[in-house]
A = this chain, B = another copy of it.
């Protein structure tokens, strides 16, 4: 069965990610039915929405309308027949997800898209007990916080139907998100792998005393990151090659290989000695900072940046 136009979204789990998804969906005018078994979850969610719905870049409805489009239900089963798409944000435990997805699959109409926010578990591992229509299950992995950062990694398992992949992609895109398609299930998908590559080298440089933790971060926020907010690594290479990626690779590939060789030699090994050395240096720096203020500034700036890019 084909997926249908999505009017009502079901949210399972209202931790950091689930609450932020809820703010996004509401601000874009969707009806959202939410469930979370944790005590006090509804109050915490409503409080979160009060301060965050209006941060959504290019929000389409007022805060008042956001809140009136929200329904919180105590029992998961109360939402299963009423939604066109489920965005799942439960704990990252395989046994839990396997049982949950078997239940979701069995108790929702066949056409309902089911997306998991999982960052760690590939969906092939938790659809194993789904009998009805596992083809409509996939990963829609957001980048935190989803109501501000456009990226969503769409990761089908090998039996996800292409019509459901397309429907998820278009759904997210219609909300102003920037979906990317991860064509093979790969540990860490794309973003976390690129991030891990940077972190490993960052930890090595800091633990070896080549650069302070503060200056390492500044290298990113005042240089690389500014560029990468606008042109990705491949386009940056291409422009650096005078408009030709081939030219870049032919002329700068050898330098790149040289640096990578030296990085390999000094690879961060996650030994407790190296880990402690980085922790000490980072803690020394961070202890002088007002993290609440940094986080608030980041979110304001991120919202402006995204709204500006969408213009």
Contact = CB atoms under 8 A, between A and B. Distances in A.
A83 to B, nearest CB: 26
A169 to B, nearest CB: 11
A62 interface: no
**Which among A220, A235, A238, A279 has the greatest number of chain B C-beta atoms within 10 A?**
A220
A235 to B, nearest CB: 5
Given A188-B262, A210-B183, A238-B291, A219 B151 contact: yes
A221 B309 CA distance: 10
> Size range of the interface on A?
35 or more
A183 B213 CA distance: 12
Nearest to A195: B224
A149 interface: yes
A191 B219 contact: yes
A254 to B, nearest CB: 9
A208 to B, nearest CB: 8
Interface in A121-169: 143-144, 149-151, 153
Contact of A275 (B208, B225, B229, B249): B249
Interface string A288-304: 00010011011001101
A219 B245 contact: no
Given A210-B184, A256-B196, A279-B249, A217 B231 contact: yes
Contacts of A61: none
B239 A217 contact: no
Interface in A216-269: 216-240, 243, 245-246, 249, 253, 255-260, 262-263
A38 interface: no
Contacts of A298: 227, 230-231, 239
A96 interface: no
A193 B220 CA distance: 11
A245 B286 contact: yes
A270 B250 CA distance: 11
A198 interface: yes
Given A291-B239, A294-B231, A223 B305 contact: no
Given A198-B194, A223-B149, A270 B243 contact: no
Interface string A197-213: 11111100110111111
Given A196-B259, A221-B229, 13 more contacts: A178-B223, A180-B222, A181-B215, A182-B210, A193-B263, A200-B260, A216-B233, A225-B229, A238-B291, A243-B291, A249-B278, A249-B279, A257-B270
23 contacts: A151-B224, A180-B211, A180-B222, A183-B209, A190-B205, A190-B210, A193-B201, A194-B219, A194-B224, A195-B236, A199-B256, A200-B256, A216-B234, A217-B234, A217-B235, A218-B232, A225-B227, A231-B298, A245-B279, A246-B279, A249-B279, A253-B270, A301-B308
